[in-house]
Amino acid sequence: MKIEKVNCINGELNLPGDKSISHRAIIFASLSKGKSLINNFLQSQDIYSTINCFRNLGCQIIENSNSLEIEGRGFGKLMAPNNYLDCGNSGTTTRLISGILAAQDFDSILIGDDSLSSRPMKRIIEPLNMMGAKIESNNDNRLPMKIFGNKNLNSVEYELPVASAQVKSCIILAGLHLNEETIVVEKFITRDHTERMLNLEVDFIGSKKIIKASRKNYPIARKYEIPSDISSAAFFIVLALCSKSSELIIRNVSLNPTRAGIIQILKAMGGDIEIINQNNFAGEELGDIKVRSSQLHNVKIESMVISNIIDEIPILSVAGFFAEGKFEIDHAEELRYKESDRIMAVCENLRLLGCKIHETKDGFIIEEKKIVGNIQFKSFNDHRIAMAFYILGALLETDVYMDSMDSVRISNPNFYSQVKSLIN
In a 3-state reduction of DSSP, which class is residue 35? Answer: strand
Domain boundary residue, one of 207, 224, 241 = 224
Pair (190, 243) in one structural domain: no
Contacts of 132 (CB under 8 A, 6+ apart): 150, 152, 153, 154
- Looking at the domain assignment, is residue 1 inside a domain? no
Pair (234, 164) in one structural domain: no
Pair (363, 259) in one structural domain: yes
In a 3-state reduction of DSSP, which class is residue 301? Answer: coil
311 classed as catalytic = yes
Range of the domain at 107: 19-224
In tens, the pLDDT along 132-145 reads 999 999 778 999 99
pLDDT at 101: 98
- Looking at the domain assignment, is residue 3 inside a domain? no
In tens, the pLDDT along 196-238 reads 999 999 999 999 999 999 999 999 999 999 999 999 999 999 9
Q: What are phi and psi of 149, to 5 degrees?
A: -65, 145
In tens, the pLDDT along 60-99 reads 999 999 999 999 999 999 999 999 999 999 999 999 999 9
In a 3-state reduction of DSSP, which class is residue 150? Answer: coil
Chain length of the chain: 424
Of 18, 46, 192, 311, catalytic:
311
Cis peptide before 16 (omega within 30 of 0): no
In 160-204, alpha helices (H): 165-175, 193-198
Q: Helices (H) and strands (E) in the chain — how many of each? A: 13, 21
Domain boundary residue, one of 176, 205, 224 = 224
What are the residue ranges in the chain where pLDDT is below 50? none
Domain count, the chain: 2
CB 176 within 8 A of CB 3: no
Pair (183, 301) in one structural domain: no
pLDDT at 374: 86
- Looking at the domain assignment, is residue 342 inside a domain? yes
pLDDT at 281: 77
- Angle in degrees, 0-180, between the axes of helices 91-101 and 45-55, rounded to the nearest 10: 20
What's the predicted TM-score (pTM) here? 0.93
- The CATH number covering residue 345 comes to 3.65.10.10
Pair (220, 231) in one structural domain: no
Domain boundary residue, one of 191, 224, 257 = 224
- Looking at the domain assignment, is residue 165 inside a domain? yes
As a whole number of angstroms, the distance between CA 134 and CA 195 comes to 26
> Nearest CA to 372 among 386, 357, 355, 395?
355
Containing 388, the helix (H) or strand (E) segment is: helix 383-394
Pair (258, 298) in one structural domain: yes
In a 3-state reduction of DSSP, which class is residue 344? Answer: helix
Q: Strand 10-13 relative to strand 247-254: parallel, antiparallel, unpaired? A: parallel
Pair (195, 286) in one structural domain: no
Burial of 180 by CB count in 10 Å (0-12 exposed, 13-18 middle, 19+ buried)? exposed
In a 3-state reduction of DSSP, which class is residue 242? Answer: helix
- Looking at the domain assignment, is residue 334 inside a domain? yes
As a whole number of angstroms, the distance between CA 159 and CA 183 comes to 8
Terminal Cα distance for the chain, rounded:
21
In three-state form (DSSP H/G/I as H, E/B as E, the rest C), the secondary structure along 111-145 is ECCCCHHHCCCHHHHHHHHHCCCEEEECCCCCCCE
- Looking at the domain assignment, is residue 108 inside a domain? yes
Residue 284 DSSP code: E
pLDDT at 294: 98
Whether the CA torsion 412, 413, 414, 419 is positive or negative: it is positive
pLDDT at 382: 97
- Looking at the domain assignment, is residue 5 inside a domain? no
Which parts of 208-271 are beta strand (E)?
A: 208-213, 223-225, 247-254
pLDDT at 283: 77
Pair (172, 53) in one structural domain: yes
> Nearest CA to 334 among 310, 365, 366, 300?
310
How many whole angstroms from its chain centre is CA 133? 26
- Looking at the domain assignment, is residue 89 inside a domain? yes
pLDDT at 345: 98
Contacts of 138 (CB under 8 A, 6+ apart): 144
CB 247 within 8 A of CB 291: yes
> Nearest CA to 153 among 175, 170, 169?
175
Pair (181, 310) in one structural domain: no
Pair (147, 201) in one structural domain: yes
Pair (231, 289) in one structural domain: yes
Pair (189, 309) in one structural domain: no
In a 3-state reduction of DSSP, which class is residue 212? Answer: strand
